[in-house]
Amino acid sequence: MAETAFILIVEDEAAHGEVIKEGLERAGHACNVVESGQAAVQSIRKRAPDVVITDYRLGGDMDGMDVLKAAKQASAVTEVILVTAHGNEALARAALRPDNPTRAYDYITKPLDIEEVRAVVERAARQAATSRENAALRAQLDQAFSFEGILGGSEAMAGVIKRLKLVAGSKITVLITGETGTGKDLVAQAIHNNSPRKSRDYRVINCAGLSETLLESELFGHVKGAYTGALNDRKGLFEVADGGTLFLDEVGDMPLVMQAKLLRAVDKGEIIPVGSNDPRRVDVRVIAATHRNLQQRVSDGAFREDLFYRLNQVPIGIPALRERREDIPLLVDHFIKQASRRHDKHVNAITPASVRKLTQHPWKGNVRELENTITTMVVLCESDTLDVADLPEAIRGSTELVPVQSGTTAGLSMNDMEKIHIANTLRHTDGNRERAAKILGIGARTLYRKLKEYELS
């Protein structure tokens, strides 16, 4: 069943207008009938319709072309269908030319076939819905903000970026937390790039998976003869990044013995290379990141409490992508452009239906998973626009409902919202459909129809 559309019917013969109205209302649309161009303009200004059906010839000072222009001026996404008598098709076709600034969607000729009218209206309504969603996406893009490659429009990311800007100019230690794939490395890079140290070295080390010995050598260096194979003195990352920034990724996985040595380096600005007894002074800003709950690791005895408090001077938590779904359309647009440049493709758009599917996906791999998905879609796409068919099967075929929270409904259609609301209400009533219908304010038969329509059990 198609989505309900609001249709304005402009017909100076009232009986003809009522016949069209009755036929469209049986298809589930809401209709308003007026008998003149002036009345049509008043109706359009009061409420912009999804589709206008107007007779080309109208009694009075305004004809169908005037109604077309008024509709397009009031709402660029409104689609207009002209009704013309047989033999006057050339006039209507002229209104359909691509170079016409007030272009009509289509035309139909008298005598009208109500099935044809319904079919044309359905197509026009879908086009109007698509145009409306595209306009909403463009508005989101216009309102988006970014900071050194960190893109967002959500309240959650606005708070993150505000905090980044406040801490970037200082030397204070920052602890970035968040799930894998949320972009903790981008946040660390952004802090360095906007700090007084931006002209000095920025070094990165992943603390997970490195043995204690290797990690100590990487961080603090070693002197000649410190161990077998140490043929020369070698600077560690703390010395290499002297005057700059050192990013310790996955610091929560650092061995306990190394944590004590890291505390000395962070707290006192002193390091001792492996095989040496002489401390060396360094001036390094430390930014650490982890996907683990460090407070829980402290409670479990797996992380030093004193090091935790030293690293956690300014905590910055990066929300999971599912917690800021309104940012997904912005990120999708950004990744399409990025992948097209990188892989010499000419993909420059994505359909609203595809964006809705992407917005509903759980994204357990967060932004990194989304970026990889869009990149693959762009590389394999054979046109300039990504569509539902280009989505991976796991996303294309997903019917998973996502919880609706304040500020996380961007990208969802009204049908999506209704489906989620009905499902949540059924959960609230433990599956009692009669109680759910009462809470929803609809009849039991209507609820059963919608359960079948949305494939809800």
**Burial per residue of 247-275, b for 16 or more beta-carbon CB atoms within 10 angstroms, e otherwise:** bbbbbbbbbeebbebbbebbeeeebbbbe
- 335 pLDDT more than 80: yes
pLDDT digits (tens, 9 = 90+) for 145-187: 667 778 787 888 888 999 999 999 999 999 999 999 999 999 9
Q: Give CATH superfamily name and number for 154-319.
A: P-loop containing nucleotide triphosphate hydrolases (3.40.50.300)
Report the share of the chain in percent with pLDDT over 70.
91
pLDDT value of position 1: 40
Domain boundaries, the chain: 6-141, 154-319, 322-396, 414-453
**What residues are paired with 36 via a beta bridge?**
none
Edge-first strand listing for the sheet containing 51-55: 30-34, 6-10, 51-55, 79-84, 106-109
For 18, residues 6+ apart whose C-beta sits below 8 A from its C-beta are 33
Contacts of 145 (CB under 8 A, 6+ apart): 151, 152, 153, 158, 161
For 58-86, what is each residue's pLDDT tens digit? 877 888 888 999 998 888 889 999 998 86
Using a cut of 0.75, tell me whether the model's pTM lies above it. Answer: no
CATH of 6-141 among 3.40.430.10, 3.40.50.2300, 3.30.360.10, 3.40.50.300: 3.40.50.2300
Q: Alpha-carbon distance 67 to 82, whole Å?
A: 10
Residue 162 identity: K
Fold agreement between 322-396 and 414-453: no
Q: Which fold has domain 322-396?
A: Helicase, Ruva Protein; domain 3 (1.10.8)
- Given the candidates 3.40.190.10, 1.10.10.60, 3.10.20.30, 1.20.140.10, the CATH classification of the domain at 414-453 is 1.10.10.60
